[in-house]
Amino acid sequence: MMENLCTHPNPQFARETFQNLNGEWDFGFKKAARGFRFSTDFSRAEKLYAAASYPHKINVPFCPESALSGIGYTDFINLAWYRKSVRIQKGGGRVFLHLGAADYLTTVLVNGKSAGRHTGGYTSFAFEITDLVQDGENELFILCEDETRNGLVPSGKQSARKKSYGCSYTRTTGIWQSVYLEYTPQNYIESIRLYPDPAAGRVTIHATLCGKGDLHCEAFYKGKSVGEQEAESASGETIAQLPLSESHLWEAGNGRLYDLRLSFAGDTVESYFGLRSVRLNGMRFLLNEKSVFQRLVLDQGYYRDGIYTAPDDAALLQDIELAQSVGFNGARLHQKVFDPRFLYFCDKRGYLVWGEYGSWGLDTSSPQALEAFLPQWLEALARDCNHPSIVGWCPFNETWDTHGRKQRDGLLLAVYEATKAFDPTRPCIDTSGNFHVKTDIYDVHDYRYDPAEFKSSFDRLVTDGELYEHVLNDHPGRQHYNGEPTFVSEYGGIKWATDVQYKSWGYGEDVHTEEEFAARYAGLTAALTGNCKMFGFCYTQLYDVEQEQNGLFTYDRTPKFSAGTYAKIKAANEAAAAIEQE
């Protein structure tokens, strides 16, 4: 790996000329108020900037609800504001301010002047601040506005009540991913889309450039140059096809990555890619034209001391290693857009993941839902589309009706179609679990406890060609199974409580011994690996999160079971899958 990829907040698009602004910032916040409304312009930020006090210091990028932030305030917050003095040397080029993620409406002032606004709590954004800064000291002011209870704020698993409950957890307000500056020449590389082609032994690079000139592309494998190409840009857009002299496939468990260096008009960007393809064929999921059974686990992306933000890279990598140690080959990254550095480690480890959004909190019956959701989702696609570890997209999860109002099917249809238009190379599930409108894969959530009943139901998919599951049965006419490829994307949830700090909750609460736990786990999982019409499963879940204690590990990622029980879990996960034998 190129050294810069190991430290940059976004290893997929890394420059040496970046300046990390994480660490101590001046900070203030305002508790929730009745009738709070989001601002419509810069005026609220400008007034706060002129009159704000900063009674606290906060450790960015940790949210104020977290212990690692130094604040630890867990009630509702509507306004959070940050200030930092930063020394900048422009050097005749451009200066960009990047925020990895900030929840929810973010307004930035630089030296008291408006720099930009961004809506959405999960996606990365940047503002060019070249004309607002001077050589020497500069003052950055960031205002974040948040309200998770108005029905138009996608907020994932963040609790809409004062305290956590069930499968809803502590909220995240304000900055929760890295803040950094990047310096570029006047002409620079704006963005790239990468299209690896294993069959042709090449990668196609779509680059958006600011300025005209030649784009130089060079690929490396383990430090050795394996391809070089130059493409001329006359319009700010260019396409380069880069043949590779060596073919090393990216596979499950083997993240064989190529490094990529792009140079244009004095600007250099480092990236990487995996040489792999994904597609559906009948009921099978193919990775590099080979049927691969997806042995997934649900990952919520929560941390006891950091909430949405891992304390360090080691914690990000640990979750992947824990999952792989018990036989999982990937994860559903659930109700959250994960940090780019986590995806980087997924890429390196050959760890299959599904890109999802934090859709809960959005009233899918509202006429305004599409406007509130789609721009944010498209930002997530644009940021993460080059990660080889992402093998599919899933914008929504369990789109239940809201206060008796049915979901707007047109919302799901429009988001599905937009996803496929943006990225036709991956399958898309419109909404995980329900209520499906148009989907490449018909996935279901099933938390039945009895392995025999569980198996009998899904065996009917093989014998009758029909899917029998509770949403179809309990909500007739709401969705229809039309023979799509199928997997059970949530099951299990077997409660095993160890954390007395919380009143524990889980889906299956009647298991009392490790032997009973292992038997139920093995029985449920065997019903899926042994089904020749299933291409995968996703077990709920990898680790406990606060009161939801159905994880295979504790919230602190320590073992809950004996080595013998983990061996049985691993054996069940790694059992030969019927669909791979077809």
Mean pLDDT in consecutive groups of 10 residues from the start of the chain, 582 residues: 72 97 98 92 97 96 98 98 96 96 98 98 98 98 96 97 96 98 97 98 97 94 97 87 98 98 96 98 98 98 98 98 98 98 98 98 98 98 98 97 96 98 98 97 96 95 90 91 96 94 89 96 98 98 98 98 98 98 76
Answer yes or no: do 418 and 529 share one domain: yes
Instruction: Enter the pTM of the model.
Output: 0.97
CA 353/CA 296 separation, integer angstroms: 8
Tell whether 165 and 313 lie within a shared domain: no
Within a domain: 518: yes
Pair 141, 49: CB distance under 8 Å: yes
Whether residue 482 sits in one domain with residue 335: yes
Q: 193 and 167, same structural domain? A: no
Residue 182 within any structural domain of the chain: no
In a shared domain, residues 531 and 497: yes
What's the CA gap between 377 and 402, in Å, rounded? 21
Q: How far is 126 from 100, CA to CA, in rounded Å?
A: 9
How many CB atoms are closer than 10 A to CB 496? 21
Based on the fold, state whether residues 84 and 221 are members of the same structural domain.
no
Strands 330-333 and 294-299: parallel
The answer to whether residues 305 and 230 belong to one domain is no
416 and 561 together in one domain = yes
* pLDDT at site 468: 85
Helix (H) or strand (E) holding 85: strand 77-88
- Measured CA to CA, the distance from residue 227 to residue 229 in angstroms comes to 7
Q: Same structural domain for residues 327 and 346?
A: yes
Quick check: is 300 in a domain? yes
Q: 567, exposed or middle or buried, with CB in 10 Å at 0-12, 13-18, 19+?
A: middle
Report if residue 75 sits inside a domain: yes
Kindly state the tokens that stand for 210.
Answer: 């600011």
Name the residue among 304, 213, 344 with its Cα closest to residue 266: 213
Same domain? For 270 and 129 the reply is no
Computed on alpha carbons and rounded to an integer, the radius of gyration of the chain in Å comes to: 24
Q: What was the pLDDT predicted at 434?
A: 96
Residues 285 and 291: their CA atoms lie apart, in Å, by: 6
Claim to verify: residue 430 and residue 510 sit in the same structural domain: yes
- 6 in a domain, yes or no? no
Please, are residues 398 and 358 in contact by the beta-carbon 8 Å criterion?
Answer: no
For residue 333, what are the domain limits?
292-581
Give the Cα separation of 360 and 538 in Å (integer): 19
Q: How far apart are CA 416 and CA 428, in angstroms?
A: 7
Q: How many domains does the chain have?
A: 3
Q: Is residue 11 part of a domain?
A: no
Instruction: Report the SS3 class of residue 348.
Output: helix
Question: Whole-angstrom Cα distance, residue 382 to residue 378?
Answer: 6
Residues 224 and 349 in one domain: no
Residue 2 lies in a domain: no
Per-residue burial over 454-469, b = 16 or more CB atoms within 10 Å of its CB, e = otherwise: bbebbeebeeeeebeb
pLDDT of residue 5: 61
Q: What is the pLDDT of residue 2?
A: 54
**Domain assignment present for 286:** no
pLDDT of residue 1: 45
Residue carrying the six token digits 């979901």: 407
CATH number of the domain that residue 547 is part of: 3.20.20.80
